[in-house]
Amino acid sequence: MRLLCLDLGRKTIGLALSDEGGVVATPLRTLARVGGQRDLEAVAQAAREAGAGALVLGLPLELSGREGEAARRVRRFGDALGAQLACAVHYWDERFSTAHAERALLEGDLRRAKRKQVVNHVAAALILQSFLDAGASRASAEGGAP
């Protein structure tokens, strides 16, 4: 089953997709936010086109690990999207994902304009890969498949 990951920002939504086996995350694209139901529809369409069976949303926890207003906004969006698509929704700590993506893109020597275009869906891929790796680690420790 493929997973679609969202890095939900105020202006954009970064999307990443897993492979069928749930091993590798790949950046997909970044959507411009237009607001409310239209954002839900755009992501739902992307999920259907990708054949995603579940969602992973990056959860912007505070440095202390607590959930603030930004995390509550992500949960509201995720819950509404999950209900619309009738699929499972998982939330995963996204602290520092954009900074990590920016650093990786800088190391790749991408120009500033290009980095700005791709950083959100690269961050979504980092969030999703972390989620997938944690699932594989849990399954390995438990002696089963992820």
Spatial contact of 129 and 24, defined as CB atoms under 8 Å apart: yes
pLDDT of 9:
86
Owner of token pair 């980092």: 126
Q: Which residues pair with 26 in a beta bridge?
A: 17
Give residue 84's pLDDT band: very low, low, confident or very high (50, 70, 90).
very high
Distance CA 68, CA 57 (A): 15
Distance CA 118, CA 79 (A): 26
Task: Please report the beta strands in 9-139, taking only residues with DSSP state E, as ranges in sequence order.
Answer: 12-18, 25-32, 52-59, 88-93
Position 77 pLDDT exceeds 70: yes
Q: Considering the entire predicted model, what is its pTM?
A: 0.81
pLDDT of 120:
78
Full set of structural domains in the chain with CATH: 2-142 (3.30.420.140)
pLDDT of 141:
40
| Mean pLDDT score, 71-79 | 96
Give residue 3's pLDDT band: very low, low, confident or very high (50, 70, 90).
very high
